[in-house]
Every structure is written in C-alpha cells, then in structure tokens.
Amino acid sequence: MSKHLGKASIKFLNKIYIIATASIVGPKEGEGPLSDYFDVVLEDMKAGETSWEKAESKIVKDTLELAVKKSGLNINNIDYVIAGDLLNQSTGSTFGVISLEVPFFGIYGACSNMGEGMSLGSILIDGDFAENILVGASSHFCTAERQFRFPLELGNQRPLTATWTVTGDGAVVLSQKGSKEFPHVSGITTGRIIEMGIKDQNNMGAAMAPAAVDTLLNHFKDFNRTPDYYDLIITGDLGYVGKKLVLKLMKSEGYDLSKNYSDCGIEIFDEKKQDTHSGGSGCACSAVTFSGYLYKKLLKKEINKLLFIPTGALLSPTSVLQGESIPGIAHAIVIENEV
Amino acid sequence: MSKHLGKASIKFLNKIYIIATASIVGPKEGEGPLSDYFDVVLEDMKAGETSWEKAESKIVKDTLELAVKKSGLNINNIDYVIAGDLLNQSTGSTFGVISLEVPFFGIYGACSNMGEGMSLGSILIDGDFAENILVGASSHFCTAERQFRFPLELGNQRPLTATWTVTGDGAVVLSQKGSKEFPHVSGITTGRIIEMGIKDQNNMGAAMAPAAVDTLLNHFKDFNRTPDYYDLIITGDLGYVGKKLVLKLMKSEGYDLSKNYSDCGIEIFDEKKQDTHSGGSGCACSAVTFSGYLYKKLLKKEINKLLFIPTGALLSPTSVLQGESIPGIAHAIVIENEV
C-alpha cells in the first residue's frame, strides 16, 4: 500500500520540520510591504558582481549559506541541496551551489521551483533517505527581463497584465529532527502540466491560473478537505489577474476561496506605490515570501495551517516565437503547526 | 537511522524494478553500431514537425507513451513522470509531457538527466510514495547545436575534442512490482557539482570527467566496493577524451578501471565511419544507450551488475560568454539482476 493519496498527493507519515529559512532580496523588494521580514535587502542589483547573472548566483550562494547558519547545522550535516531558477540551463543555481560541495538535485519547474524543491526534499526526509535538506529557488529581475522579454535598455512599456520578476532567493532547511516550535510539512499535491491556449507572455497570471486550479481541485479531493481547513491558501505568482481567475474558476467548481486566499505576487509589492502592474513573479516571489514573511507568521502561530502553492509558467522565448501556448504547473505544500 | 550511505549514496531496501524501456533515435544514431537495439529510428530530424524543437517534444511524447505501452501498464497507473532535456527552460520535456496529464517533476542536470531522474524515481518507489514512475531524458542534435554553439547553416568546423549531440529520447518505467526476469535499481550515488577550470565548450569530456571521478570515488567508498564488483561501469557522454581522463584520474586514486569501463558516447557511434570526433553526447546519449542497448543486455543476463553514470555539463551560452568555466555533475545508478 503506497503513501500516495488519490490522484496526485502524498500524506507524510513523519513531520518534516522547517527548522530555518533565509531570504535575500533586491532593492525594490526592500521597498515593499514585506521589507522587514527579509534577512538581507541588497543595495544594488549586481550584488557587487560584474553581471546580473553572477549577481544571481552570488545571491543563491549567500542565501543557502545563511539558511544553514540560521539552522545551527553545519554544511556537512546537509545531505542534499535541491535548487532551481529561471536562467537558461539553470546557471543561477549551478554557480551558486558549487562551493557547497553537497550532492545536488537540479530542478526545473519555472517559478514553481520552491514547491517542487520542498516536495522532493520532504519525500527524501519522510522516506528516511536524508536527515537534512537544503532547498532554494531564485530569480532576478534583470536576468529574467533580458532573457525572456526585451533588453532593459530599451525601456519597453509593460502591459497592465505583466508582473514584475522578484530579485532574490528564498531557502529552507528541512529536517527529520525538530520540535513543535517549528512548522512542518505534512503533505503535498504535485502539479500536472496544464495548457489552456494562453499565448501572451505578458499575461503569466492567466497562463498559470488553470494549473493552480487543477492542483487545488486535486488537493481538496485527494485530502478530502475544503478550503476552510486552511488559515491561508497562497499561490506563487499569479498576481491580480491570476488571482481573480483562480477565484472565479474555483467558484465555478463549487469552492469558495474568497475568505482565505491570496497570492505571493500580491503580498510582496505595494500595488499603488510600486508600479508593478499585476504584481510580483519569478521563482523568488513565492520563495522569499515564504522564507521571509509566511515562515515568521507560522513561527508566531499567527498562521497554523498553510497551503503554499508555487506556480510556474513553462515557456521559453523560443517556444513563444514558434507559436506555442504557455503551459503552467503548480505544486502544493501543506505546512502546519503542531497544536 | 537514515538509509543514506556514507557521503552521497543510498542503498535501497526494496528492489526497484525496471519493467520496461523505450528508445527513439534520429537517423545518424540509426546508422551506428547500436541501431538494432532501438525501438524506432526516425527517417528525418523533424519527425514530421515544423521545427526541430517541436520534433524533440514529439520524440519525448512518443517515447514516454511507448515505454508505458511496453510495460503493459496504462498511463493511469503511472504516479509521476520525471523528465528533463537541454533546451532553455526544458521545453523539450514540457511540451512532450503535457498530453500525459500525470503529476510531473521537471529536472535539470544537463546530460545527467537520466541519472537524476532514475535516482528520484527510485527514491519515490523505495519510500513507498509511488508504485510506478516514468522517467525520460531527451536531446536533439539540431536544437542543441543552434542553442549552445553556432547556427547549423554556418557549417562550422568542429574540433576533435567535440562530441556529437545524440538525437532521441530514452525512457524507463520503474515499478514496485516485478520479478527476477527484470533488472532492478539497488542503489544510487548522487553527484556534486565539480568545476576544474575547463572553459572550452568544445571539450565537454574534459569538463565532466572530474565530476564522474568524484561520483565514482564517493560510490566505491560509500558502498565499500571496488570496480571489479561490476560487470560494466559506463559513464554518460564523456567520449574518448573524457574516458581517457577518467581512467587516468581514477588510476591516480588507486582504482583500475581499464578492464570494465566504457562510455555511452563511445558505444553509440562508430568512431571510424561516423565522423563524430570524440563520440556522442547529450541527455539522450546515456538515456537511449541504456534504454536500448544496456537494458537488453541486462534482460539477457549478459550483464548482471551495471554501474550507470550519466554525466552533465552545467554550462549555458551566457555563462560561457561571461567567462565562467564549465562545471560538471554525474549521478550513479546501480542496476543489478537478481541471481
């Protein structure tokens, strides 16, 4: 008999403790409403490096090291590192992870990376394959813009459906050993790739919303739960446009999410003051919002049952140019406090 | 007490049966020495599609579906699909996997993808999180050349250290249920990212060889084995240049691999007739050599103990242009017959 639950879920037998988190963000995120929750706010986008890509790798390295330090463990206690980013061939993670010298699983789920990483990390720990796992996900506004859209120097106008790629890295240390002081992962629902014909790469919220809905529906069915089980249900980076679609689509399926649903892309920037249009996006959007903000709310027991659903848009500039639509994926993580 | 062994390994408690494999390759691979072992040899590089990228996704889809069909299972019996490729944002896998509608973990370990996927799949099954897993890895000569090197139309001369990206996809179905008829995964050693200063993207063998050596050393130490435990030790895509380096570096560490070591990049093409210089490479190199050739040797009990080590070079065109060296990674899978 498998621990697999329903169509797409796993209910863990053991508590996978989140014993530490770390978050480093860029200047713009430091001006947003969650500023005080982040460990480090960078003063410049290059983080002292000579290119944005090198900066992203530096942020990855520093965040992962900081998470280990905050956990009280030594890097030698970490059995595996799991990390991913948006750059071609995931070089943000690669060059950030080298110096750690720990067995490494590279992942790619676009901006859902934090969800995929925490899923695989929890599986490794629950199955007794590892004692401690380090998971991180990063993105950088400048590396993402020039890779996916236009050279920044062009000063292109952004449509109102566009989101703003978050600069930063969020990391968590998952552990077999913990106490009720720490929140723990109790289950996951793994996303399927969902594609509904959206072709506008400036409307990622609409492209990813159906994937979030698919995962939410599978989750509630597999766990036999309703939305009110959770204090907060929060998707990764759907922004205002995507949130609206999720609310509507879920309502048509008979689920009312109006009371306890938000999106990390909405939480991280100030809608009126920061001019980010539909909100924040990028792997770091959900990663730093969780590692910074949500984790501290969990520690303070202000949230006790959280459904965290990083969302990803699985496009490439080439796939868009070749006329493909933009598929999405969303991985749900159940994080609870022992009460 | 963790199932983790030593620094980087896991010894599985259960047998993870490889109940089926499938392989689809391009025309050039069909002219090579392993031709008869592949399920399908394509007649054209576009596989009936309008672009090379669409062709790669088509090959992914067809290979994954064929593997499920050959296993006697239905796609509904597959709990997770794990897949990866070399394209920016892994679109080869994304667009190939959509129609399967199965929970999906996307991975990125460059040409080590088949090793990473089989590792994670085996973990999911051994830990009783899944009953059946579908793992695949793909690459395509034309999509890779134009993305990593030069437009094909340029007709650039390739240096003798260069390898030839294999076109194709190799897939395996891993299962909790099987019999001694089938080979099984009994352990894994997970790679660390290793970087030794190689900056020549036309010499991937040299860039990846130190990672293969690191994994081999960890493997022999963690499992307390010597090379003669195996009938065959085979790396992913080091080619002639990389194989020579592995033999030399391992010898300097006190391990003689001269009797039972080869590389998939050497097996897949004919050195004299096919003009591929240092040999084959790409995710599909190890994936189709395993799924086609090695798996059948295992079924016939011509090989009973195999150490399969897909190798990956974690570069991107941007990282190369920014003067970064090329890091490598290698994931080892122990595949054995019950005797």
Do B170 and B284 touch, CB atoms closer than 8 A? Answer: yes
- φ/ψ of B12, rounded to 5, equals -75, 145
A17 secondary structure, DSSP code = E
* pLDDT tens-digit series, residues B15-37: 999 999 999 999 999 999 999 99
Chain centre distance of CA A138: 9
Instruction: Establish how many alpha carbons lie within 13 A of residue A66's alpha carbon, considering only the half-sphere containing its beta carbon.
Output: 20
Do A332 and A309 touch, CB atoms closer than 8 A? Answer: yes
Contacts of A82 (CB under 8 A, 6+ apart): A104, A105, A106, A107, A117, A120, A121, A133, A134, A135, A136
Task: Determine which of A175, A222, A319, A329 to mutate to test the interface with B (most B C-beta atoms within 10 Å).
Answer: A319
CB-CB neighbors (< 8 A) of A191 in chain B: 103-104
CB-CB neighbors (< 8 A) of B101 in chain A: 192
Do B294 and B114 touch, CB atoms closer than 8 A? Answer: no
CB-CB neighbors (< 8 A) of B2 in chain A: 79, 128-131, 176
Chain centre distance of CA A139: 10
CA separation for the pair B137, B67 (Å, rounded)? 12
Subunit contact B3:A317, Cβ cutoff 8 A: no
What percentage of chain B reaches a pLDDT higher than 90? Answer: 96
Give A318→chain B minimum CA distance, Å.
8
* Claim: this prediction has a pTM higher than 0.95: yes
Give the number of beta-carbon pairs within 8 Å between A and B.
182
Subunit contact A317:B108, Cβ cutoff 8 A: no
Per-residue pLDDT of chain B (339 residues; tens, 9 = 90+): 478 999 999 999 999 999 999 999 999 999 999 999 999 999 999 999 999 999 999 999 999 999 999 999 999 999 999 999 999 999 999 999 999 999 999 999 999 999 999 999 999 999 999 999 999 999 999 999 999 988 889 988 899 999 999 999 999 999 999 999 999 999 999 999 999 999 999 999 999 999 999 999 999 999 999 999 999 999 999 999 999 999 999 999 999 999 999 999 999 999 999 999 999 999 999 999 999 999 999 999 999 999 999 999 999 999 999 999 999 999 999 999 998
Contacts of B260 (CB under 8 A, 6+ apart): B227, B228, B230, B231, B232, B233
Strands B9-25 and A232-235: unpaired
CA separation for the pair B322, B320 (Å, rounded)? 5
CA separation for the pair B311, B313 (Å, rounded)? 7
Subunit contact A53:B322, Cβ cutoff 8 A: yes
Do A26 and A179 touch, CB atoms closer than 8 A? Answer: no
CA separation for the pair B138, B62 (Å, rounded)? 11
Record the tokens describing residue A76, joined without a space.
Answer: 């030698």
Subunit contact B90:A191, Cβ cutoff 8 A: no
**Check: complex ipTM more than 0.85:** yes
- φ/ψ of A157, rounded to 5, equals -80, 140
CB-CB neighbors (< 8 A) of B187 in chain A: none
CA separation for the pair B294, B182 (Å, rounded)? 13
Do A42 and A30 touch, CB atoms closer than 8 A? Answer: yes
The pLDDT assigned to A155 comes to 87
Strands B184-189 and B9-25: antiparallel
Q: Is B136 exposed, middle or buried (0-12, 13-18, 19+ CB in 10 A)?
A: buried
Subunit contact B94:A314, Cβ cutoff 8 A: yes
B53, B130, B327: residue with CB nearest A98? B327
Q: Say which amino acid occupies B148.
A: F
Task: Determine which of B7, B14, B88, B309 to mutate to test the interface with A (most A C-beta atoms within 10 Å).
Answer: B88
Task: Determine which of A80, A94, A101, A321 to mutate to test the interface with B (most B C-beta atoms within 10 Å).
Answer: A94
Chain A's closest residue to B332, CA to CA, is A103
Instruction: Establish how many alpha carbons lie within 13 A of residue B8's alpha carbon, considering only the half-sphere containing its beta carbon.
Output: 24
Q: What sign for the dihedral angle of Cα A213, A219, A221, A226? A: negative
Do B26 and B145 touch, CB atoms closer than 8 A? Answer: no
The pLDDT assigned to A286 comes to 98
Subunit contact B314:A192, Cβ cutoff 8 A: no
Subunit contact A191:B103, Cβ cutoff 8 A: yes
* pLDDT tens-digit series, residues B81-106: 999 999 999 999 999 999 999 999 99
* pLDDT profile of chain A (339 residues), mean per 10: 87 97 98 98 97 98 98 98 98 98 98 98 98 98 94 90 97 97 98 96 96 98 98 98 98 98 98 95 98 98 98 97 97 96
CA separation for the pair B17, B298 (Å, rounded)? 12
The pLDDT assigned to A130 comes to 97
3-state helix, strand, coil in chain B (%, to 5): 40, 25, 35
Subunit contact B4:A131, Cβ cutoff 8 A: yes
The pLDDT assigned to A339 comes to 82
Do B236 and B114 touch, CB atoms closer than 8 A? Answer: yes
Contacts of A170 (CB under 8 A, 6+ apart): A21, A22, A23, A63, A114, A136, A137, A138, A284, A286, A287, A288, A289, A290, A291, A292
Task: Determine which of B12, B94, B189 to mutate to test the interface with A (most A C-beta atoms within 10 Å).
Answer: B94
Beta-ladder partners of A232: A306
CB-CB neighbors (< 8 A) of B191 in chain A: 103-104
CB-CB neighbors (< 8 A) of B114 in chain A: none
- φ/ψ of B2, rounded to 5, equals -85, 155
Subunit contact A108:B126, Cβ cutoff 8 A: no
Minimal CA–CA distance to A338: which of A182, A234, A232?
A: A182
> Both ends of chain A: CA-CA distance in Å?
29
